[in-house]
Amino acid sequence: MTESTRRTGGHEYEHPQGTPAQPYAAPHAADVHPEWPPPPAHAPTAGTGRRRKRPGGPVTLLAAVALVAAAVGGGTAYAFQQLTGHDTTATDTATPVVAAGKKGDVANIAAALTPSVVEVNATLASGSSTGSGVIVSSEGEIVTNNHVVSGASSVKVRTSDGTSRTARVVGTDSSKDLALLRIEGASGLKAAPLGTSSGVQVGDTVVAIGSPEGLTSTVTSGIVSALDRDVTVSTDESQSGQGQNGDEQWPFQFGGREFNGDTGSSTTTYKAIQTDASLNPGNSGGALIDASGRVIGINSAMYSSGSQASSSTDAGSIGLGFAIPVDTVKADLAKLRAGSTS
Protein backbone atom coordinates (compact mmCIF):
# COMPACT_ATOMS: atom_id res chain seq x y z
CA MET A 1 0.00 0.00 0.00
CA THR A 2 1.06 3.58 -0.34
CA GLU A 3 0.79 4.94 3.15
CA SER A 4 3.96 5.54 5.09
CA THR A 5 4.17 4.12 8.62
CA ARG A 6 6.94 4.74 11.10
CA ARG A 7 7.18 2.67 14.32
CA THR A 8 9.36 4.44 17.18
CA GLY A 9 -2.99 6.45 3.26
CA GLY A 10 -37.13 19.17 -28.38
CA HIS A 11 -39.05 17.50 -25.58
CA GLU A 12 -42.32 18.77 -24.19
CA TYR A 13 -42.47 20.69 -20.96
CA GLU A 14 -45.31 19.55 -18.70
CA HIS A 15 -47.38 22.44 -17.42
CA PRO A 16 -47.74 22.47 -13.59
CA GLN A 17 -51.48 21.78 -13.93
CA GLY A 18 -50.72 18.62 -15.90
CA THR A 19 -51.65 20.07 -19.33
CA PRO A 20 -48.82 19.70 -21.84
CA ALA A 21 -47.68 23.09 -23.04
CA GLN A 22 -47.34 23.74 -26.76
CA PRO A 23 -43.84 23.19 -28.14
CA TYR A 24 -42.03 26.49 -28.12
CA ALA A 25 -41.30 28.00 -31.51
CA ALA A 26 -38.85 30.83 -31.95
CA PRO A 27 -40.63 34.05 -33.02
CA HIS A 28 -40.10 35.39 -36.54
CA ALA A 29 -37.84 38.40 -36.66
CA ALA A 30 -40.70 40.54 -38.02
CA ASP A 31 -42.81 39.71 -34.95
CA VAL A 32 -40.26 40.92 -32.42
CA HIS A 33 -40.99 44.32 -30.88
CA PRO A 34 -38.65 46.33 -28.71
CA GLU A 35 -41.43 47.17 -26.28
CA TRP A 36 -44.32 45.38 -24.63
CA PRO A 37 -47.61 45.61 -26.61
CA PRO A 38 -49.65 48.74 -25.71
CA PRO A 39 -52.72 48.32 -23.50
CA PRO A 40 -56.08 47.77 -25.25
CA ALA A 41 -58.01 50.87 -26.32
CA HIS A 42 -60.99 49.88 -24.16
CA ALA A 43 -60.80 48.29 -20.75
CA PRO A 44 -62.52 44.89 -20.45
CA THR A 45 -66.12 45.08 -19.33
CA ALA A 46 -66.80 43.42 -15.99
CA GLY A 47 -69.02 40.36 -16.11
CA THR A 48 -68.42 39.59 -19.77
CA GLY A 49 -66.81 36.22 -19.04
CA ARG A 50 -63.41 34.80 -18.14
CA ARG A 51 -60.37 36.37 -19.73
CA ARG A 52 -58.30 34.04 -21.86
CA LYS A 53 -54.58 33.95 -21.11
CA ARG A 54 -52.22 34.04 -24.04
CA PRO A 55 -50.30 30.76 -24.08
CA GLY A 56 -46.58 31.16 -24.10
CA GLY A 57 -46.76 34.73 -22.80
CA PRO A 58 -43.70 36.46 -21.33
CA VAL A 59 -44.32 35.36 -17.72
CA THR A 60 -44.98 31.73 -18.68
CA LEU A 61 -41.92 31.68 -20.92
CA LEU A 62 -39.69 33.18 -18.25
CA ALA A 63 -40.90 30.63 -15.69
CA ALA A 64 -40.19 27.78 -18.08
CA VAL A 65 -36.73 29.15 -18.82
CA ALA A 66 -36.02 29.45 -15.10
CA LEU A 67 -37.03 25.83 -14.54
CA VAL A 68 -34.88 24.62 -17.42
CA ALA A 69 -31.91 26.70 -16.25
CA ALA A 70 -32.17 25.18 -12.79
CA ALA A 71 -32.15 21.66 -14.21
CA VAL A 72 -28.92 21.73 -16.22
CA GLY A 73 -25.24 21.90 -15.42
CA GLY A 74 -24.07 22.99 -12.01
CA GLY A 75 -27.41 24.71 -11.44
CA THR A 76 -28.94 21.43 -10.29
CA ALA A 77 -27.03 21.29 -7.03
CA TYR A 78 -27.47 25.03 -6.42
CA ALA A 79 -31.23 24.95 -6.99
CA PHE A 80 -31.60 21.90 -4.78
CA GLN A 81 -29.68 23.60 -1.99
CA GLN A 82 -31.75 26.78 -2.27
CA LEU A 83 -35.08 24.93 -2.23
CA THR A 84 -34.32 22.40 0.48
CA GLY A 85 -31.55 23.94 2.53
CA HIS A 86 -29.49 20.75 2.03
CA ASP A 87 -25.76 21.38 1.90
CA THR A 88 -24.74 19.44 -1.18
CA THR A 89 -21.60 17.34 -1.30
CA ALA A 90 -19.23 16.51 -4.09
CA THR A 91 -21.30 13.44 -4.94
CA ASP A 92 -24.27 15.59 -6.01
CA THR A 93 -22.57 16.71 -9.20
CA ALA A 94 -19.74 15.62 -11.48
CA THR A 95 -19.37 19.01 -13.15
CA PRO A 96 -15.81 19.40 -14.46
CA VAL A 97 -13.75 21.99 -12.59
CA VAL A 98 -11.29 22.55 -15.44
CA ALA A 99 -12.43 24.62 -18.42
CA ALA A 100 -12.85 22.73 -21.68
CA GLY A 101 -9.95 24.62 -23.22
CA LYS A 102 -7.69 23.58 -20.33
CA LYS A 103 -8.70 19.92 -20.26
CA GLY A 104 -5.70 17.76 -19.47
CA ASP A 105 -3.62 20.73 -18.31
CA VAL A 106 -1.87 19.37 -15.21
CA ALA A 107 -1.20 22.83 -13.77
CA ASN A 108 -4.89 23.77 -13.90
CA ILE A 109 -6.00 20.41 -12.48
CA ALA A 110 -3.50 20.73 -9.65
CA ALA A 111 -4.59 24.27 -8.83
CA ALA A 112 -8.26 23.25 -8.75
CA LEU A 113 -7.94 20.00 -6.77
CA THR A 114 -5.00 20.49 -4.40
CA PRO A 115 -7.17 22.31 -1.79
CA SER A 116 -9.41 19.21 -1.70
CA VAL A 117 -6.64 16.74 -0.78
CA VAL A 118 -5.22 16.48 2.74
CA GLU A 119 -2.44 14.69 4.56
CA VAL A 120 -3.64 12.16 7.15
CA ASN A 121 -1.58 11.34 10.24
CA ALA A 122 -2.83 8.54 12.47
CA THR A 123 -1.44 7.67 15.90
CA LEU A 124 -1.27 3.91 16.40
CA ALA A 125 -0.49 1.76 19.42
CA SER A 126 3.01 1.06 18.15
CA GLY A 127 3.81 4.11 16.05
CA SER A 128 2.18 6.31 13.45
CA SER A 129 0.82 6.12 9.92
CA THR A 130 0.93 8.82 7.24
CA GLY A 131 -1.38 8.82 4.24
CA SER A 132 -3.65 11.11 2.27
CA GLY A 133 -7.37 11.84 2.04
CA VAL A 134 -9.92 13.49 -0.26
CA ILE A 135 -12.43 16.06 1.03
CA VAL A 136 -15.92 15.05 -0.17
CA SER A 137 -18.09 17.62 1.64
CA SER A 138 -17.68 21.22 2.75
CA GLU A 139 -18.23 20.15 6.39
CA GLY A 140 -14.97 18.22 6.34
CA GLU A 141 -15.88 14.65 5.37
CA ILE A 142 -12.76 12.94 4.08
CA VAL A 143 -12.40 9.63 2.24
CA THR A 144 -9.17 7.72 2.77
CA ASN A 145 -7.95 4.11 2.88
CA ASN A 146 -8.93 1.93 5.80
CA HIS A 147 -5.33 0.76 6.16
CA VAL A 148 -4.20 4.36 6.77
CA VAL A 149 -6.32 4.77 9.94
CA SER A 150 -6.94 1.17 11.02
CA GLY A 151 -6.31 0.85 14.75
CA ALA A 152 -5.71 4.60 15.19
CA SER A 153 -6.19 6.13 18.63
CA SER A 154 -6.21 9.66 17.17
CA VAL A 155 -6.14 11.24 13.70
CA LYS A 156 -4.85 14.61 12.51
CA VAL A 157 -5.23 16.02 9.00
CA ARG A 158 -3.25 18.80 7.39
CA THR A 159 -4.83 20.82 4.61
CA SER A 160 -2.97 22.29 1.65
CA ASP A 161 -2.62 25.65 3.44
CA GLY A 162 -0.65 23.96 6.21
CA THR A 163 -3.44 24.00 8.82
CA SER A 164 -3.53 20.96 11.11
CA ARG A 165 -6.93 19.81 12.41
CA THR A 166 -8.27 16.97 14.50
CA ALA A 167 -10.46 14.40 12.74
CA ARG A 168 -12.44 11.41 13.90
CA VAL A 169 -13.09 8.12 12.13
CA VAL A 170 -16.79 8.03 11.17
CA GLY A 171 -16.90 4.63 9.45
CA THR A 172 -14.66 1.98 7.94
CA ASP A 173 -15.00 -0.80 5.36
CA SER A 174 -12.00 -3.10 5.38
CA SER A 175 -13.46 -5.20 2.54
CA LYS A 176 -13.07 -2.22 0.20
CA ASP A 177 -10.12 -0.65 2.06
CA LEU A 178 -12.11 2.56 2.61
CA ALA A 179 -12.66 4.82 5.59
CA LEU A 180 -14.54 8.07 6.18
CA LEU A 181 -13.15 10.78 8.46
CA ARG A 182 -14.68 14.04 9.58
CA ILE A 183 -12.82 17.16 10.67
CA GLU A 184 -14.30 18.42 13.92
CA GLY A 185 -16.13 21.75 13.56
CA ALA A 186 -15.17 22.25 9.91
CA SER A 187 -17.19 24.26 7.39
CA GLY A 188 -16.62 25.90 4.04
CA LEU A 189 -13.97 23.45 2.88
CA LYS A 190 -13.54 22.79 -0.83
CA ALA A 191 -14.96 19.40 -1.75
CA ALA A 192 -13.49 17.51 -4.68
CA PRO A 193 -15.93 16.72 -7.51
CA LEU A 194 -16.44 12.96 -7.71
CA GLY A 195 -16.70 11.80 -11.29
CA THR A 196 -17.41 8.30 -12.54
CA SER A 197 -15.03 5.44 -13.15
CA SER A 198 -17.32 3.49 -15.48
CA GLY A 199 -16.20 5.51 -18.51
CA VAL A 200 -12.48 5.44 -17.77
CA GLN A 201 -10.40 4.05 -20.62
CA VAL A 202 -6.86 2.75 -20.90
CA GLY A 203 -4.66 5.61 -22.04
CA ASP A 204 -6.68 8.37 -20.34
CA THR A 205 -4.61 11.14 -18.78
CA VAL A 206 -4.67 11.13 -14.97
CA VAL A 207 -3.22 13.24 -12.17
CA ALA A 208 -2.42 11.98 -8.67
CA ILE A 209 -2.33 14.26 -5.61
CA GLY A 210 -1.23 13.13 -2.15
CA SER A 211 1.39 13.33 0.59
CA PRO A 212 4.16 10.82 -0.19
CA GLU A 213 6.57 10.60 2.75
CA GLY A 214 4.72 13.53 4.36
CA LEU A 215 5.36 15.88 1.41
CA THR A 216 1.90 17.47 1.39
CA SER A 217 0.22 18.40 -1.92
CA THR A 218 2.61 16.48 -4.17
CA VAL A 219 1.34 16.26 -7.75
CA THR A 220 2.27 13.60 -10.32
CA SER A 221 0.72 12.68 -13.67
CA GLY A 222 0.49 9.76 -16.06
CA ILE A 223 -2.09 7.62 -17.80
CA VAL A 224 -4.47 4.78 -17.00
CA SER A 225 -2.40 1.70 -17.68
CA ALA A 226 -5.06 -0.99 -17.20
CA LEU A 227 -8.52 -1.57 -15.71
CA ASP A 228 -10.12 -4.16 -13.44
CA ARG A 229 -6.90 -5.36 -11.88
CA ASP A 230 -7.45 -7.76 -8.97
CA VAL A 231 -5.61 -6.28 -6.01
CA THR A 232 -5.61 -8.15 -2.71
CA VAL A 233 -4.90 -6.30 0.53
CA SER A 234 -4.75 -7.27 4.17
CA THR A 235 -7.68 -6.53 6.45
CA ASP A 236 -5.55 -7.18 9.54
CA GLU A 237 -4.21 -3.95 11.00
CA SER A 238 -1.25 -5.79 12.50
CA GLN A 239 0.12 -6.71 9.06
CA SER A 240 2.78 -4.44 7.61
CA GLY A 241 5.67 -4.66 5.19
CA GLN A 242 9.11 -3.26 5.84
CA GLY A 243 10.25 -0.75 3.26
CA GLN A 244 13.21 1.53 2.73
CA ASN A 245 14.87 3.39 5.63
CA GLY A 246 12.71 1.68 8.22
CA ASP A 247 9.47 3.01 6.69
CA GLU A 248 6.62 0.52 6.48
CA GLN A 249 4.58 -0.03 3.33
CA TRP A 250 1.18 -1.68 3.39
CA PRO A 251 1.46 -5.11 1.74
CA PHE A 252 -0.71 -6.27 -1.14
CA GLN A 253 -0.98 -9.11 -3.61
CA PHE A 254 -1.23 -8.87 -7.38
CA GLY A 255 -0.97 -11.59 -9.99
CA GLY A 256 -0.44 -14.24 -7.34
CA ARG A 257 2.60 -12.47 -5.87
CA GLU A 258 3.02 -10.50 -2.65
CA PHE A 259 4.47 -7.00 -2.64
CA ASN A 260 5.76 -4.79 0.18
CA GLY A 261 5.42 -7.58 2.75
CA ASP A 262 3.30 -10.51 3.83
CA THR A 263 -0.44 -9.83 3.61
CA GLY A 264 -1.24 -12.51 6.19
CA SER A 265 -4.30 -14.74 6.17
CA SER A 266 -7.06 -12.09 6.41
CA THR A 267 -7.37 -10.40 3.03
CA THR A 268 -9.87 -8.79 0.65
CA THR A 269 -9.73 -8.32 -3.13
CA TYR A 270 -11.08 -5.43 -5.20
CA LYS A 271 -10.99 -4.37 -8.85
CA ALA A 272 -8.51 -1.52 -9.25
CA ILE A 273 -7.52 1.08 -11.81
CA GLN A 274 -3.84 0.68 -12.69
CA THR A 275 -1.84 3.85 -13.39
CA ASP A 276 1.74 4.79 -14.13
CA ALA A 277 1.39 8.11 -12.29
CA SER A 278 4.12 8.05 -9.64
CA LEU A 279 2.82 6.83 -6.25
CA ASN A 280 4.97 6.43 -3.16
CA PRO A 281 4.41 5.60 0.52
CA GLY A 282 2.04 8.26 1.84
CA ASN A 283 -0.05 8.51 -1.36
CA SER A 284 -2.59 6.02 0.05
CA GLY A 285 -6.02 7.65 0.26
CA GLY A 286 -5.13 10.44 -2.16
CA ALA A 287 -6.93 11.40 -5.36
CA LEU A 288 -6.60 9.99 -8.86
CA ILE A 289 -8.09 12.66 -11.13
CA ASP A 290 -9.18 12.70 -14.77
CA ALA A 291 -8.40 15.31 -17.42
CA SER A 292 -11.51 17.34 -16.52
CA GLY A 293 -10.56 17.63 -12.87
CA ARG A 294 -12.90 14.98 -11.44
CA VAL A 295 -11.83 12.31 -8.97
CA ILE A 296 -12.03 8.87 -10.58
CA GLY A 297 -10.23 6.85 -7.93
CA ILE A 298 -8.66 6.70 -4.47
CA ASN A 299 -4.99 5.73 -4.66
CA SER A 300 -4.38 2.65 -2.54
CA ALA A 301 -1.34 0.56 -3.49
CA MET A 302 1.96 0.81 -5.30
CA TYR A 303 4.69 -1.63 -6.19
CA SER A 304 8.20 -0.77 -5.07
CA SER A 305 11.23 -2.82 -6.00
CA GLY A 306 13.08 -1.44 -3.00
CA SER A 307 14.00 -3.58 0.00
CA GLN A 308 16.38 -3.25 2.89
CA ALA A 309 19.10 -4.84 0.79
CA SER A 310 18.42 -2.70 -2.29
CA SER A 311 20.30 0.44 -3.22
CA SER A 312 18.52 3.78 -2.99
CA THR A 313 18.28 3.91 -6.79
CA ASP A 314 15.96 0.89 -6.71
CA ALA A 315 13.52 2.40 -4.20
CA GLY A 316 10.29 4.27 -4.81
CA SER A 317 7.69 4.14 -7.57
CA ILE A 318 8.36 2.27 -10.79
CA GLY A 319 5.05 3.17 -12.43
CA LEU A 320 2.84 0.42 -11.01
CA GLY A 321 0.13 2.05 -8.92
CA PHE A 322 -3.45 1.05 -8.15
CA ALA A 323 -6.56 3.03 -7.22
CA ILE A 324 -10.00 2.07 -5.92
CA PRO A 325 -12.58 3.16 -8.56
CA VAL A 326 -14.65 6.15 -7.47
CA ASP A 327 -17.91 4.33 -8.30
CA THR A 328 -17.02 1.87 -5.54
CA VAL A 329 -16.38 4.79 -3.19
CA LYS A 330 -19.71 6.49 -3.96
CA ALA A 331 -21.63 3.26 -3.49
CA ASP A 332 -20.05 2.87 -0.05
CA LEU A 333 -20.48 6.43 1.24
CA ALA A 334 -23.93 5.95 2.80
CA LYS A 335 -22.68 2.94 4.74
CA LEU A 336 -19.60 4.81 5.94
CA ARG A 337 -21.65 7.85 6.95
CA ALA A 338 -23.92 5.58 8.97
CA GLY A 339 -20.93 4.62 11.11
CA SER A 340 -20.24 1.12 9.81
CA THR A 341 -16.99 -0.32 11.17
CA SER A 342 -16.75 -3.53 9.17
Which amino acids are annotated catalytic?
A: 147, 177, 284
Rounded-to-integer distance, Cα 12 and Cα 15, Å: 9
Rounded-to-integer distance, Cα 292 and Cα 109, Å: 7
- Write down how long the chain is: 342
Angle formed at CA 62 by CA 60 and CA 63, multiple of 5 degrees: 65
Angle formed at CA 316 by CA 311 and CA 318, multiple of 5 degrees: 105
Residues 6+ apart with CB under 8 A from 106: 207, 219, 221
Phi, psi of 194 (to 5 degrees): -90, 120
Rounded-to-integer distance, Cα 140 and Cα 48, Å: 63
In this structure, what DSSP letter does residue 70 have? T
Answer yes or no: are the C-beta atoms of 228 and 198 closer than 8 Å.
no
One-letter amino acid of 233: V
Query: What is the Cα gyration radius of the chain?
Result: 26
End-to-end distance of the chain based on CA atoms, in angstroms? 19
